[in-house]
Amino acid sequence: MKKKKKFFQYVKQYKWSNIFSMVRNNRLSPKICKEDFTEKLVVITGATSGIGYYTARKYAAHGATILCVNRNIQKSEKLCREIENEFGVKCSYKIADLSNLKDIYRVTDELSNIKTPIDVMIHNAGIYLTKRELTSDGIEKVFVIQYLSSFIINFILLDKLKSQEKARVIMVNSEGHRFAAWGLRLDDLNWEKRRYSGLKSYGSAKIAQLLSMMVFNEHIQNTGVTINSMHPGAVKTDTGQENGPVYLWFKRNFIDKTLKSPEISAEALYYLGVSKEVEAVSGKFFNLTTEEEPAPPALDKEVAVELWNKSIELAGL
């Protein structure tokens, strides 16, 4: 009965004006921030390719110290050598599989014990699957990497960030949250009761991220910490490499040819992390750097609180 009630609730809340705004915003270029960020610490998950790679370079070009959280040691070492040689700033890395709860906890504990302030925390690691997979912890993989990992990191880092009295958390979200048009199924996060869909599982994880942002934002009011989410634009990334040859062929020959460079995403992430124009803005969703209202299921406070409690339970926090 509750699912039907939510369905009709969301139907009433959808507005054509929001869809038109999204289409219009998709054509806009990101705002540019020219301020430097010398010796400020920026933590980026998934920085060895795509959006994360260009974002690390963008911050480094403005003097920031880079700390990456990646899966691959060789790629991480290569990235850090490149950044240090080209920009003359410090770049380090931590290795973690963000589909594994034990790894997420370990790397988060390491981040929380860093003595210097984390000025910007960027959650960029992502995955897209066409077939359902469970992690070693028995949780649907897309949900863990796209949502639960960032939830755990934010939850544990909260005290450190608040004690700094200044920090910005940015989650790379997506207009793809709209694929979960009728909301999050908290009773079936593992897709055991429904037919699995790559688009819907991706959309559900992004909806979850936006819902958690609402609650996190309440916990950081008047602390100097902000949290926002952003759609990085229609850009070419390595997301989806875990899928089969048919998907990869279609992506390479059709999808990728319509996409832009991730450099525009890096520009947006730098603006949101550094610009004084958004210094006090928190709890918002941006299409690159343009504030936008997300889909109705992403604004449901009741579900946001239920998800918060469910996430704490799933993560064993």
Contacts of 216 (CB under 8 A, 6+ apart): 154, 158, 169, 227
The confidence score (pLDDT) of residue 67 equals: 98
Query: What per-residue confidence (pLDDT) applies to 40?
Result: 98
- Residue 31 DSSP symbol: P
Please name the amino acid found at residue 63.
G
- Cα(176)–Cα(269) distance, integer angstroms: 18
CATH 3.40.50.1370 at 2-315, yes or no: no
The pairing of beta strand 290-292 with beta strand 285-287: antiparallel
Tens of pLDDT, residue by residue, the chain (317 residues): 466 677 778 888 888 888 888 888 888 889 999 999 999 999 999 999 999 999 999 999 999 999 999 999 999 999 999 999 999 999 999 999 999 999 999 999 999 999 999 999 999 999 989 899 999 999 999 999 999 999 999 999 999 999 999 999 999 999 999 998 889 999 999 999 999 998 899 999 999 999 999 999 999 999 999 999 999 976 545 554 444 443 333 334 434 434 557 799 999 999 999 999 999 999 999 999 999 999 999 999 999 999 999 999 999 88
d(CA 252, CA 249): 5
Work out the number of other CB atoms within 10 angstroms of the CB of residue 311: 21
Alpha helices by DSSP H, listed for the chain, are: 2-13, 16-25, 50-61, 73-87, 101-112, 141-143, 149-164, 198-219, 245-250, 263-274, 301-315
What pLDDT sits at residue 238? Answer: 53
Quote the CA–CA distance of 250 and 128 in Å, as a whole number. Answer: 14
Q: Strand 65-70 vs strand 167-172: parallel, antiparallel, or unpaired?
A: unpaired
Q: For the chain, what are the domain ranges?
A: 2-315
Tokens 């996430």 correspond to 311
* CA distances (Å), origin 219, targets 80, 159, 243, 244, 286: 34, 10, 38, 41, 21
How many C-beta atoms surround the C-beta of residue 221 within 10 A? 9
Would you state the pLDDT for residue 256? 42
pTM, full prediction: 0.90
Task: Provide the pLDDT for residue 279.
Answer: 96
What distance lies between CA 296 and its chain's CA centroid? Answer: 19
The DSSP bridge pattern shows strands 167-172 and 225-231 to be: parallel
